[in-house]
Structure 1
Amino acid sequence: MDNNFIRTEIIEGLQKLFSLRLIGSPAEDILQVTGETWIVAFSKKTEGWKIEDEGRIEKAFNLILADIERWPSPKQVIALIPKRKKPTELAPPKFTSEQIAANKKRLAETLKIIVAKMEMTK
């Protein structure tokens, strides 16, 4: 699975933070190293992420941008990553009384065959 979106979201988030010129911002000449360090810091949290997780890191950075006055630690941003969306639950199937009766009959017939084969092996 290609998780380039994780790297992209971290780098873009750091660029936004850097543009704010916050207290404690890294120097421009070490920004690339800072990005690589943040990617490593996020790696445990993002292990096993899929394309459905795209946008979660971006949301965390956007949340912190509104309230931050000092350069944050990776831990602060990681804490703001929203939970994964739950998949949409399917409604249970609806069977007609005829379908229920047919299924019960088929199940009874299958059970008879199994019992007969078990008796033959005795």
Structure 2
Amino acid sequence: MGEQWLKQSLASGVSMLLLLRLKNAPPEDAIQPTLEAWFRVITYKKTWDKELDRARFESAFMYLAQNCDKFPSPKQLLEAMPKREFKELPPPEITPEQQQKFAEGWRKLKEQLRGTYQCINQENS
């Protein structure tokens, strides 16, 4: 199943919160239904990617463990998640022809600006 990693992340994070004995934590017989409810809420109209999101879930659960006095809701987990980090694309390779075209464009722009500067100076004289 493609979302097994998410279920494991939820189980691990919720287990840590349960061990902290936070107020309003579910009783032992309600842990499994709680995990199922969290999974349904977190996956409702959302897709998660193991590569991009696993560390985010771990960070969010750690944040909740450090900052909550009461057992959190799935909404609090989602709010605590850091933004996704995307790999930066390498800069595009510029061909010698493109470099020449860019240089020509810069040269033309500089000429136009020089002409404008000269016109402004003549008007102010």
Common fold by TM > 0.5: yes
Alignment partner, residue 51 of structure 1 = 50
C-alpha distance in structure 1 between counterparts of 2:10 and 2:80, whole Å: 13
* Distance apart, 1:50 and its partner CA: 2.0
1:35-87 residue CA offsets vs partner (Å, 9 max, x unmatched):
11111111126x33223222211111011111111111111111111111123
Question: One-letter code of the match for 2:27?
Answer: A
Q: How does 1:31-42 map to 2 (within 5 A)?
A: 31-42=31-42
* Distance apart, 1:11 and its partner CA: 0.9
Select the structure that is richer in helix: 2
For structure 1, list consecutive stretches of 5 or more residues without a partner in the other structure: 102-122
C-alpha distance in structure 1 between counterparts of 2:55 and 2:3, whole Å: 12
Following TM superposition, the consecutive aligned residue runs of length 4 or more in structure 1 with deviations greater than 6 angstroms are none
Alignment partner, residue 24 of structure 1 = 24
Alignment partner, residue 64 of structure 2 = 64
Alignment partner, residue 109 of structure 1 = none
> What's the TM-score, normalizing by structure 1?
0.72
> What's the TM-score, normalizing by structure 2?
0.70
* Distance apart, 1:94 and its partner CA: 2.6
How many residues align structurally? 100
Q: Percent identity?
A: 30
* Distance apart, 1:96 and its partner CA: 2.6
Alignment partner, residue 81 of structure 1 = 81
Provide the aligned C-alpha RMSD in A: 2.3
C-alpha distance in structure 2 between counterparts of 1:65 and 1:90, whole Å: 37
Alignment partner, residue 13 of structure 1 = 13
